[in-house]
């Protein structure tokens, strides 16, 4: 597959890039994508939730009423989970939600996500660029030139250019990453994947290992 290269003004640069079929042309593995996205989302969870069980709750341990003869259910102390203000039975405790995935599977997930984007014609190739100073207005102009303002976009650069990154930071839905930091969730979450021309060589290196 070949894609035209554009400049940030939205005009064609007069050349094309060929996409590597081993990265952008495979049959996507949807289960690998599911597992990798699940891992990424799980790693974002703090896992700091906590509740008190009977042994941790302050309160009297006096038996509230006699065991038999009341005609109602037996009742222990005031910390019983079935009482209002009582302890929590089997409540949550701090834990990690992370789990292990093999490197090959995570690589397959990212390549599958890129192939999905290529098949859906949701990849835009731009010339390498940088800004002299951080300027949100310049980044917005670029998005407007491609009719992407207000859309979720992921800009992939060969390496992070600080001025470009800072220019995008205040724009909702706009994200800038280096090619070696790309992940499955960000790829699929973006309405359009914007890839700088020299990022393709970095992606080739990343996924040929």
Residue 45's SS3 state is coil
Residues 181 and 79 in one domain: no
CATH number of the domain enclosing 121: 3.40.1370.10
Give the residues of the chain that fall short of pLDDT 50: none
- What DSSP state is assigned to residue 169? T
Greatest Cα-to-Cα distance within the chain, rounded to the nearest angstrom: 92
Domain count, the chain: 2
Contact of 117 with 189, CB cutoff 8 Å: no
Which tens digit of pLDDT belongs to each residue from 98-111? 999 999 999 999 99
The predicted pLDDT at position 209 comes to 67
Residues 140 and 74 in one domain: no
**Domain hosting residue 50, numbered range:** 46-96
Residues 139 and 184 in one domain: yes
Which tens digit of pLDDT belongs to each residue from 8-27? 998 988 889 999 999 999 99
Gyration radius of the chain over CA positions: 27
The predicted pLDDT at position 131 comes to 92
The predicted pLDDT at position 1 comes to 82
Residues 73 and 145 in one domain: no
Pairwise CA distance, residues 199 & 194, whole Å? 10
Residue 162: other Cβ atoms inside 10 A: 11
At a CB cut-off of 8 Å and minimum separation 6, what does 19 contact? Answer: 1, 2, 3, 25, 118, 123, 200
The predicted pLDDT at position 184 comes to 96
């Amino acid at each position: 597959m070949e894609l035209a290269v554009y400049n940030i003004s939205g005009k064609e640069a007069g050349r094309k890039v060929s996409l590597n079929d081993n990265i952008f042309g495979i049959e996507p593995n949807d289960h690998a994508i599911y597992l990798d996205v699940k891992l990424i989302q799980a790693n974002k969870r703090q896992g700091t939730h906590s509740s008190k069980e009977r042994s941790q709750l302050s309160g009297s341990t006096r038996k509230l009423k006699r065991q038999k003869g009341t005609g109602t259910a037996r009742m222990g102390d005031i910390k019983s989970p079935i009482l209002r203000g009582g302890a929590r039975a089997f409540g949550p405790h701090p834990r990690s939600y992370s789990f292990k995935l093999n490197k090959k599977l995570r690589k397959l997930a990212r390549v599958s996500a890129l192939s999905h984007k290529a098949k859906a014609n949701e990849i835009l190739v731009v010339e390498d660029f940088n800004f002299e100073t951080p300027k949100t207005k310049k980044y917005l102009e670029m998005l407007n030139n491609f009719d992407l303002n207000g859309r979720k976009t992921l800009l992939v650069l060969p390496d992070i250019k600080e001025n470009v990154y800072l220019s995008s930071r205040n724009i909702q839905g706009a994200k800038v990453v280096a090619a070696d930091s790309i992940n499955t969730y960000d790829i699929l979450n973006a309405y359009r994947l914007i890839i700088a021309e020299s990022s393709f060589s970095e992606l080739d290196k990343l996924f040929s290992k």
